[in-house]
Structure 1
């Protein structure tokens, strides 16, 4: 529990964060009823909800969100419960954050939306959820990469990433947003021999 030392807030807040990490819903209820502050943070700027999200503790997250926990509260490295759930493919928690005011335009420390790491990591259902929620499919991060570009460059060219490329293109992803060196998604896919992706990009008007 070194995570809890010197943390912000008093004993109830430290207990709340510990209960969130361990997924102890009963303890969370008791502590909230006793007045523990929802948004108190640990040394890394993480709220109880952020800690529950990192461990994919769904019931803990559900309780905290129902009590009004901020799904957009960012920690010291610019992660929020919403962004972390999206990047990690923790779809149950992601769904809860989307239903409770997730800021779709919020960005992580790389300047990317939740959709970009979800695409990179091959989380098909997460990508579907974020597209349906209305996340900008053409957002460009600080590396000058879109979700489409990350699915190609950082994926392995397998079925999951190929499906994600298809989903992004269907949702209106621009196949011709190049990287910082002017190399297009289609050129990257060709260089890597990702024939399925090449076909999809060509059909979508990729150059």
Structure 2
């Protein structure tokens, strides 16, 4: 058990350092690490996506990381969510978002706060490119959060005017 914990720690340390070669080496030795959460309940894929490390996200996917796995976050300010949610809340890398979506990431999975990836995008960014990627993959515009809000209402509240304008057009 202790060795497994050390391997998870080593994987996350390599991931945080952006060391793709070390990540690949660890995953080749122990492929199950691709879906093993750290002590905070975060998956390697969600963490790499949050940091915007496209090459490491690809390496994790190549080694069997589940793109729709929901984390079990024990950090109060981080909801349990998917790598897609984490990427949007983090660096918002268009390439990582495209990569996740191209490997079947579902934009309609709800996180522990009741938000889909579209809700997260409406909250975190005014980049319409992210919004469009999610919509192109079937994100539901009318989906309500756990608090009963739409992505449009969230975007308006956050002052994300460009995103709000696109969402308004979708609801007409």
Q: Which has the higher helix share?
A: 2
Counterpart for residue 41 of structure 1: 5
Give me the whole-angstrom Cα distance separating, in 1, the residues matched to 2:63 and 2:170: 34
2:47–2:86 Cα contact (<8 Å) kept: no
Alignment counterpart, residue 138 of structure 2, candidates 172, 178, 183: 172
Number of equivalent positions:
164
Give me the whole-angstrom Cα distance separating, in 2, the residues matched to 1:92 and 1:193: 32
Deviations 1:38-63 (A, max 9, x none): xx324xx8342222112211111122
TM-score, length-normalised on structure 1?
A: 0.71
Deviations 1:148-180 (A, max 9, x none): 11111133x2xxx32111111111100111222
Q: CA deviation at 1:181?
A: 2.3
Counterpart for residue 8 of structure 1: 2
What RMSD, in angstroms, separates the aligned Cα atoms of the two structures? 2.1
Give me the whole-angstrom Cα distance separating, in 1, the residues matched to 2:146 and 2:25: 43
**Considering only CA atoms, is the larger Rg found in Structure 1 or Structure 2?**
1
Higher RCO (CA < 8 A, seq sep 6+): 2
Counterpart for residue 80 of structure 1: 43
Is 1:107 paired with 2:70? yes
Give me the whole-angstrom Cα distance separating, in 2, the residues matched to 1:181 and 1:62: 41
1:139–1:147 Cα contact (<8 Å) kept: yes
1:58–1:92 Cα contact (<8 Å) kept: yes
Counterpart for residue 153 of structure 2: 187
- Unmatched runs of 5 consecutive residues or more in structure 1: 1-6, 10-39
| Counterparts of residues 17-28 of structure 1 (less than 5 Å) | none
For residue 188 of structure 1, give the secondary structure of its aligned residue in structure 2: helix
- Unmatched runs of 5 consecutive residues or more in structure 2: 74-78
Counterpart for residue 116 of structure 1: 85
